[in-house]
Amino acid sequence: MWTWIAGGSPVPESPTDFEIFGNINEIKLKWVNPARNIDSTPMDDFSGINLYRDSAWVTTFSRTSADTGKVDSAVYTPVAPGYYYWQISTLDNEMPVNESEYSNEYRTPLAVTFADNFSRLNEPDATYWIQEKVTIDERAVDPPSPPRTLNLNGTGIPVGNDILESYPFDLSEQAGTGLKFAYLYQPEGSGDPPLSTDSLILRFKNDAGEWVLIKSYGGTPLTDFQQEIFDMDSLSSGMSYFFHNTFQIQFSTTGRIHPILSRADWFVDNVYFGISAPAIGSSSDTLNFDSTAVGTPEELVLNIHSIGLEDLTVSEVISSNNLFTVDTTSFTLSRSTHLDVKVIYSPTQVGTDLARLDFVSNDPNKDTLSVVLMGTAVPSTHIFSTTGLPQQFLLSQNYPNPFNPVTNIHYELPRGSDVKLAVYNLLGQKVRTLVNGWRAAGRYDVEWQGDNDSGMAVSSGIYLYRIETTDFQKTMKLMLLK
């Protein structure tokens, strides 16, 4: 409820026509300054605009009464680049200051060049995508970026109605730059074939807020992945245009009721948005060598993907730790191809080893792809016995490590004891108590689901886990990745 004051309300109206341009490194704000207070009386004491990031104040743009009613703008560089929600408000020069309600809200735009090879399992990256009934799995056949692809295969009646929608891109300065939108698609894979009455649909949002149909595919049985490339400058956008600051992409499916098939699989991979250029991706951003015996090297495979529209050249592969080596130091991949790179861990002593593997390439937007390597070395003769009582106290490296969402911690007691097993942050503050009480001699496995004692999920990072018994204490590290 408003409080009315003689001579008019002191509360100014909110700025109008608020918009955001730019990207995570720098944003440009545009708006129209108000000319009146909320009761429509003239505002003659305008003093500035407050900027809010995720509802928290970050800065004030000073103005004067001469700026009342004008189209205005400002540039802001976030101290920590990222995707945020932005709003502004009006200030006057009274004491105390009167502030308007917040304006409408805008998210930091996505920037081109953009590439996604859908390497995460289960759900698309929520930094870039809004989804409904969409998943990432390994059901495609010979995908261009193995092992995973996007799968639009929503179940239910009718089948379909899957939606994958990007957050807005700022294309306001991209007209005439040769901007391309590309992806590969496949029906069925190793799943269920779409019927001829099913469809995979691509739409773009124009500046009028309308979804414009760009391409529609009728269902067919399994085929190889097919490449699609669209020249943005030549596409029709109806009565409006695509080169604006709230452009969006949408993949969706339509379906049917079928007495046998519960779903229809459509796969999409290597989404690329930018000018023709190389782009690099990988099957994972972390490789974990768990319980590797000293003196017995272990080998894992990392798949490197060429997801751009030009040949990808990796000129150098660099390991920061010589305990981790690779079977290649340079290679070239044509568009939408991939290469298995063998990574070998050769520990020389018991413990945990960390490294970073850098792929230096001609990708103009990410010239170095970095992959985290973690190795846990155990004695060459160390075997967990499954019979008889343990001969010594033991706390093992958690498995898997890094982990998401659940990890297992193994410990052994040669005799009964009070046991406390807990997880701590790097400040030494207890996060989660896993065991607290008497345990008989034996072998035990305990799960930690990345939560605290209140059941709330904790953030990604390195944590400590510690066991304390009457005669034994040990602390080890683990890593939670989300």
Q: Do residues 472 and 393 touch, judged by C-beta distance below 8 A?
A: yes
Q: Does pLDDT of 338 surpass 90? A: yes
Residue 8 lies in a domain: no
Residue 387 lies in a domain: no
Domain harbouring 414, CATH code: 2.60.40.4070
Domain harbouring 246, CATH code: 2.60.120.260
336 and 312 in a common domain: yes
Least confident of 103-107, 140-144, 227-231, 445-449: 445-449
219 and 121 in a common domain: yes
Q: Per residue, what are the HEC states of 16-53?
A: EEEEEEECCCCEEEEEECCCEECCCCECCCEEEEEEEE
Q: Does pLDDT of 111 surpass 50? A: yes
Among the candidates 77, 92, 107, a domain finishes at: 107
Order of strands across the sheet that contains 27-32: 16-22, 27-32, 71-76
Q: Could you identify the residue written with the tokens 């016995």?
A: 385
Among the candidates 205, 240, 274, a domain finishes at: 274
pLDDT at 261: 54
Q: Tell me the torsion sign for CA atoms 54, 59, 65, 67.
A: negative
294 and 163 in a common domain: no
Residue 418 lies in a domain: yes
Average pLDDT, the chain: 91
Query: Where residue 427 falls among pLDDT bands split at 50, 70, 90?
Result: confident
163 and 132 in a common domain: yes
Domain harbouring 99, CATH code: 2.60.40.10
Instruction: Please tell me the total count of domains within the chain.
Output: 4
214 and 122 in a common domain: yes
pTM: 0.76
pLDDT at 440: 87
Listed in sequence order, the residues at least 6 apart from 253 whose beta carbon sits closer than 8 Å to its beta carbon are 152, 153, 154, 160, 161, 162, 194, 198, 199, 200, 201, 264, 266
Cβ burial of 62 (10 Å; 0-12, 13-18, 19+) is exposed
Residue 444 lies in a domain: yes
Residue 384 lies in a domain: no
Q: Which structural domain range is residue 156 located in?
A: 114-274
Mean pLDDT of 26-45: 95
Residue 129 lies in a domain: yes
CA distance 444 to 411: 5
260 and 154 in a common domain: yes
State pLDDT tens for residues 291-336. Answer: 888 888 999 999 999 999 999 999 999 999 999 999 999 999 999 9
pLDDT at 2: 47
CA distance 169 to 110: 4
Order of strands across the sheet that contains 473-480: 430-439, 417-424, 461-468, 473-480
Query: Where residue 378 falls among pLDDT bands split at 50, 70, 90?
Result: confident
State pLDDT tens for residues 155-187. Answer: 555 555 789 999 999 999 999 999 999 999 999
Around 121, how many Cα atoms within 13 Å sit in the side-chain half-sphere? 10
pLDDT at 382: 45
State pLDDT tens for residues 247-298. Answer: 999 999 987 655 455 568 899 999 999 999 999 999 999 999 988 888 889 9
pLDDT at 1: 42
186 and 53 in a common domain: no
Among the candidates 257, 274, 291, a domain finishes at: 274
H-helix or E-strand spanning residue 370: strand 368-378
